[in-house]
Amino acid sequence: MTVSVHGIDELKKWSGSVLGTSDWIDITQDRVNGFADATGDHQWIHVDVERARQGPFGGPIAHGYLTLALFIPLFTDLLDVEGVTTKVNYGLNKVRFPAPVPVGSRLRLTAVLASVDDISGGVQMTVDGTLEIEGGSKPAAVLQSVTRFYV
């Protein structure tokens, strides 16, 4: 379910709140191969299915940065901020990849709006995100994202 807020003042009221959990997203070999083509990272552990079956994870795994990149579409399903003129992905404070993401698995995001702080012309929002692997004992990624909204 998407949380829709209108304006900075309403966004601030959500500070410290769990925004929810996204739907699942499939991690397919086509998605991994597309990411490899886009980034030039064709390491065998990701794209060579036969060789990866003999590797440490028993099959190909998603790139860590592919997992990280999926934060944005999953997060967009959780929060919609209206009434601002500009939304800027400002960066990340920290990222960890505790578990590999096997091709054929599914991921979802749980996000907490950690803080909303005033900046010149708007606010800076910090979100704590956990990307969970369906049936996994450890998360695929744990991160802290920073976004700026200008009015």
Tens digits of per-residue pLDDT, 121-150? 999 999 999 999 999 999 999 999 999 999
pLDDT at 41: 97
Residue 113 CB burial class (10 angstroms; 0-12, 13-18, ≥19) = buried
Dihedral class, residue 92 (left if φ above 0, else alpha if ψ from -120 to 50, else beta) = beta
Mean pLDDT over each residue of the chain, to the nearest integer: 97
DSSP one-letter string for 54-103: TSTTSS-B--HHHHHHTHHHHHHTTEEEES-SEEEEEEEEEEE--S--BT
pLDDT at 29: 98
The CATH number of the domain holding residue 144 is: 3.10.129.10
Query: What is the model's pTM?
Result: 0.92
Number of separate domains in the chain: 1
Q: Report pLDDT digits (tens) over 16-51.
A: 999 999 999 999 999 999 999 999 999 999 999 999
pLDDT-based confidence at 1, cuts 50/70/90? confident
Please tell me the distance from the alpha carbon of residue 108 to that of residue 133, in angstroms, as a whole number.
7
Q: Residue 78: give the domain boundaries.
A: 3-150
Both structure tokens of 2: 């998407």
Query: In which band, very low, low, confident or very high, does the pLDDT at 2 lie, cut at 50, 70 and 90?
Result: confident
